[in-house]
A and B are shown apart, each in its own frame.
Chain A
Amino acid sequence: MGLNKRRVNSLWRLKGRLMLRSYTRERGRLVGAIMAILFLGPMVIAAAIGSALGYLRLPDPWPAQLLGFILVLLWFIWLIFPIFFSSLNEAADITRLLIYPLPQRDIIASVLLGTLFDYPTYLMLPLLLAVLIGWGASLALPVVIIAILLGFAHMIFIGLLVGTALGGVLQSRRFRDIAIIFTALLGSSCYFLQVGFGRLIENVTQNMSQEELLALQPLPILQWFPTGAAAQAIAQASDGQWIAALGWLFYSSLWLLLIVWAWWKLIVRLTTGEGFLFARAPRPQKEIKTAPARAATLPIFLRRLPPDIAQIMSKEFKSIWRTPLRRVGLIQGLLVPIFMGGFILIRNESSISSLTSFNFIGLGLPLYALFIYWVTSFNMLGWEGKGLPVLFLTPVSRRRIFLGKGLALYIVASLSFLLVGIIFTLVLGNWVSLGGLLTGLISGFTTIGVTAVFATLFPSPIHQESRRRRSSLSTRGGCLPALANLFLLVPLIFIMAIPAAVPLLLAYFFDLPWVMFVALPLSLAYALPIFWLGCRHSANLLATREPEVLAATRVED
Chain B
Amino acid sequence: MDIPAVEALGLTRHFGQKTAVANLNLTVAEGEFFGFLGPNGAGKSTTINMLVGLLRPSQGTARISGIDIWQNPLPAKRLLGVLPEGLNLYQRLSANEFVRFVGSMYDIPAPEVESRAAELIDLLDLTLDADKLIIDYSHGMRKKTALAAALIHAPRVLFLDEPFEGIDAITGRIIRDVLQQLRGQGTTIFFSSHILEVVERLCTRVGVIADGRLVAEGTINELRERAETGSATTLEDIFIKAVGATADVQNSGKLSWLK
A315, B86: Cβ atoms closer than 8 Å: no
Determine the chain A residues whose CB is within 8 A of the CB of B54 once the complex forms: 389, 392-393, 546-547, 550
**Residues A395 and B75 in contact in the complex (CB < 8 Å), given A292-B121, A294-B96:** yes
A547, B56: Cβ atoms closer than 8 Å: yes
Which are the 9 A-B pairs with shortest beta-carbon distances?
A: A292-B118, A293-B130, A394-B105, A387-B90, A322-B92, A389-B88, A395-B78, A547-B56, A311-B104
Contact of A318 among B56, B89, B92, B118 (CB under 8 A): B92
A546, B91: Cβ atoms closer than 8 Å: no
Q: Give CA–CA (A323, B77) in the complex, Å.
A: 29
Looking across the interface, which residue of chain A has its beta carbon closest to that of B115? A292
B91, A464: Cβ atoms closer than 8 Å: yes
Cβ of B131 under 8 Å from chain A: yes
Q: List 11 A-B contacts (CB under 8 A).
A: A292-B127, A293-B96, A293-B127, A308-B107, A318-B92, A318-B97, A389-B54, A390-B89, A391-B105, A394-B106, A395-B78
**Residues A395 and B114 in contact in the complex (CB < 8 Å), given A293-B130, A318-B92, A390-B89:** no
B56, A293: Cβ atoms closer than 8 Å: no
Contact of B102 among A293, A322, A392, A394 (CB under 8 A): A394
Contact of A397 among B53, B74, B90 (CB under 8 A): B74
Looking across the interface, which residue of chain A has its beta carbon closest to that of B50? A547
Looking across the interface, which residue of chain B has its beta carbon closest to that of A321? B92
Looking across the interface, which residue of chain A has its beta carbon closest to that of B80? A393
B55, A547: Cβ atoms closer than 8 Å: yes
A390, B88: Cβ atoms closer than 8 Å: yes
Determine the chain A residues whose CB is within 8 A of the CB of B105 once the complex forms: 308, 311, 391, 394-396
Shortest Cβ gap from A281 to chain B (Å): 19
Looking across the interface, which residue of chain B has its beta carbon closest to that of A298? B110
Cβ of A214 under 8 Å from chain B: no
- Which residues in B have some Cβ–Cβ distance to A below 8 Å? 52-56, 73-75, 77-78, 80, 82, 84, 86, 88-97, 100-102, 104-107, 110, 114, 117-119, 121-122, 126-128, 130-131, 133, 135-136, 149
**Residues A319 and B92 in contact in the complex (CB < 8 Å), given A390-B102, A395-B106:** yes
Q: Give CA–CA (A182, B207) in the complex, Å.
A: 52
Shortest Cβ gap from A554 to chain B (Å): 9
Determine the chain A residues whose CB is within 8 A of the CB of B118 once the complex forms: 292-293, 295
Determine the chain B residues whose CB is within 8 A of the CB of A323 once the complex forms: 92
**Residues A318 and B93 in contact in the complex (CB < 8 Å), given A293-B121, A295-B118:** yes
Cβ of A275 under 8 Å from chain B: no
Determine the chain B residues whose CB is within 8 A of the CB of A394 once the complex forms: 77, 102, 105-106
Determine the chain A residues whose CB is within 8 A of the CB of B93 once the complex forms: 315, 318-319, 322
Cβ of A173 under 8 Å from chain B: yes
Shortest Cβ gap from A85 to chain B (Å): 24
B110, A307: Cβ atoms closer than 8 Å: yes
Determine the chain B residues whose CB is within 8 A of the CB of A208 once the complex forms: none
Looking across the interface, which residue of chain A has its beta carbon closest to that of B110? A307
Q: Give CA–CA (A393, B150) in the complex, Å.
A: 10
B128, A307: Cβ atoms closer than 8 Å: no
Determine the chain B residues whose CB is within 8 A of the CB of A289 once the complex forms: 127-128
A319, B90: Cβ atoms closer than 8 Å: yes
Looking across the interface, which residue of chain B has its beta carbon closest to that of A547? B56
A387, B53: Cβ atoms closer than 8 Å: no
A369-399 to B contact mask, C-beta < 8 Å, 1/0: 0000000000000001111111111111100
Determine the chain B residues whose CB is within 8 A of the CB of A322 once the complex forms: 92-93, 133
Extra 12 A-B pairs, beta carbons < 8 Å, given A389-B88, A393-B52, A395-B78:
A293-B131, A296-B100, A307-B107, A314-B101, A315-B101, A322-B93, A389-B86, A390-B89, A390-B149, A392-B53, A394-B105, A547-B56
A393, B77: Cβ atoms closer than 8 Å: yes
Determine the chain B residues whose CB is within 8 A of the CB of A550 once the complex forms: 54-55
Determine the chain B residues whose CB is within 8 A of the CB of A395 once the complex forms: 74-75, 77-78, 105-106
Total inter-chain residue pairs, C-beta < 8 Å = 120
Determine the chain A residues whose CB is within 8 A of the CB of B52 once the complex forms: 393
Shortest Cβ gap from A322 to chain B (Å): 4
A186-202 to B contact mask, C-beta < 8 Å, 1/0: 00000000000000000
Determine the chain A residues whose CB is within 8 A of the CB of B90 once the complex forms: 315, 319, 384-387, 390
Shortest Cβ gap from A289 to chain B (Å): 6
A173, B88: Cβ atoms closer than 8 Å: no
A386, B89: Cβ atoms closer than 8 Å: yes
Cβ of A288 under 8 Å from chain B: yes
Looking across the interface, which residue of chain A has its beta carbon closest to that of B91? A386
Shortest Cβ gap from B82 to chain A (Å): 5
Determine the chain B residues whose CB is within 8 A of the CB of A464 once the complex forms: 91-92
Determine the chain B residues whose CB is within 8 A of the CB of A295 once the complex forms: 96, 100, 114, 117-118
Looking across the interface, which residue of chain B has its beta carbon closest to that of A550? B54
Looking across the interface, which residue of chain B has its beta carbon closest to that of A385? B91
Q: Give CA–CA (A142, B158) in the complex, Å.
A: 75
Shortest Cβ gap from B166 to chain A (Å): 14
Q: Give CA–CA (A519, B113) in the complex, Å.
A: 45
Determine the chain A residues whose CB is within 8 A of the CB of B102 once the complex forms: 390, 394
Q: Give CA–CA (A498, B148) in the complex, Å.
A: 48
Determine the chain B residues whose CB is within 8 A of the CB of A314 once the complex forms: 101
Shortest Cβ gap from B230 to chain A (Å): 43
Determine the chain B residues whose CB is within 8 A of the CB of A393 once the complex forms: 52-54, 77, 80, 82, 84
Determine the chain B residues whose CB is within 8 A of the CB of A386 once the complex forms: 86, 88-91
B101, A311: Cβ atoms closer than 8 Å: yes
Q: Give CA–CA (A109, B86) in the complex, Å.
A: 39
Cβ of A25 under 8 Å from chain B: no
Cβ of A283 under 8 Å from chain B: no
A286, B128: Cβ atoms closer than 8 Å: yes
Cβ of A20 under 8 Å from chain B: no
Q: Give CA–CA (A322, B117) in the complex, Å.
A: 22
Cβ of A543 under 8 Å from chain B: yes
Cβ of A93 under 8 Å from chain B: no
Cβ of A548 under 8 Å from chain B: yes
Determine the chain B residues whose CB is within 8 A of the CB of A548 once the complex forms: 56
Shortest Cβ gap from A166 to chain B (Å): 19
Q: Give CA–CA (A550, B52) in the complex, Å.
A: 13
For B56, B101, B122, the residue with the greatest tally of chain A CB atoms inside 10 Å of its CB is B101
Q: Give CA–CA (A396, B103) in the complex, Å.
A: 11
Q: Give CA–CA (A166, B55) in the complex, Å.
A: 39
Shortest Cβ gap from B97 to chain A (Å): 5
Determine the chain A residues whose CB is within 8 A of the CB of B106 once the complex forms: 394-396
B127, A387: Cβ atoms closer than 8 Å: no
Determine the chain B residues whose CB is within 8 A of the CB of A388 once the complex forms: 88
Q: Give CA–CA (A294, B132) in the complex, Å.
A: 12
Q: Give CA–CA (A314, B128) in the complex, Å.
A: 23
Looking across the interface, which residue of chain B has its beta carbon closest to that of A551? B55
Q: Give CA–CA (A127, B77) in the complex, Å.
A: 63
A296-331 to B contact mask, C-beta < 8 Å, 1/0: 100000000001100100110011001100000000
A296, B96: Cβ atoms closer than 8 Å: yes
Looking across the interface, which residue of chain A has its beta carbon closest to that of B81? A393
Q: Give CA–CA (A335, B115) in the complex, Å.
A: 44
Shortest Cβ gap from B83 to chain A (Å): 10
Q: Give CA–CA (A363, B122) in the complex, Å.
A: 56
Looking across the interface, which residue of chain B has its beta carbon closest to that of A319? B92
Shortest Cβ gap from A120 to chain B (Å): 31
Determine the chain B residues whose CB is within 8 A of the CB of A319 once the complex forms: 90, 92-93
B73, A543: Cβ atoms closer than 8 Å: yes
Q: Give CA–CA (A395, B52) in the complex, Å.
A: 12
Determine the chain A residues whose CB is within 8 A of the CB of B97 once the complex forms: 296, 315, 318
Determine the chain A residues whose CB is within 8 A of the CB of B96 once the complex forms: 293-296
